[in-house]
Structure 1
Amino acid sequence: MVKLKENTVVVDESGAAKPLMAGEDVPRWAAKQVGEHLLEDGKAARSSRASRSSSGSSGTAGSPDGAGGSEEPPRGGEGATEEAWRAYAEGLDIEVPDGASRDEIIALVDARP
């Protein structure tokens, strides 16, 4: 597994934000949500991702069995954090600008095709 060089937050299969700390291994289900700039060895992550995609895996990040994707975080109330929305958007391969607010991130998600 590849280790993180910086802290980050990902969205688990239940849609909850899960912090990952520097030095930890990136869980397989979270690999698509973590940018290479956060990995100790970005080259290893690329080759690992390439081998998974060439193996015909159609799984989605956020699902331990590869059968489904992460659920959208709530839009208000408990769990409706900027961190949860950022992780969710990045899991959808949406580029989120640094400093974007939760509402701006939701707008980016809503604007995707």
Structure 2
Amino acid sequence: MAKILNANTIVRASDGTLALLTEGMPVPRWAADQVGEHLLTSAGDPADTVDEVADLRRQLAEANAAREAAEAALADQHDVDVDDEDEDEDEDDDVEPGELGEPGEPGPAGDSASKPPPRAGAGSDRESWAAYATRNGVDVAADAKRDEIIAALDTAGVPTK
């Protein structure tokens, strides 16, 4: 009778590394002496365990497909190619001198208009947020506080995180 975990646990492999054993999986022979009875349930037929493993593999394949679809959707949303392996070298990617603009100004390189200042630490001051708002076309009052500027950016739909 196969022993199946009824909870997650961590065991030490023979090479000294830690291994996570997850609920519902059969206990590997090498780990059997490290897993207490309180973590085990008996499986009736070994064929049931094979079916459970097949189900887990199917669920994993579905989860991987969903993850890949989400990555592709995110890449499309942000116009990014996440699969660099198939990308051919393209001469059009060369950058000409003067194309990038000055640091801190919006432009093709880094496009600082799309990158908000930090919320804490260096560069998180009111002036940085006011400049970011201006670069993104959001008007702010001269006496607006940093948090008010961030709120105005949020209202305008400009990224603030």
With normalisation by structure 2, the TM-score equals 0.30
With normalisation by structure 1, the TM-score equals 0.42
Greater relative contact order: 1 or 2 (C-alpha under 8 angstroms, separation 6 or more)? Answer: 1
Structure number having the greater helix percentage: 2
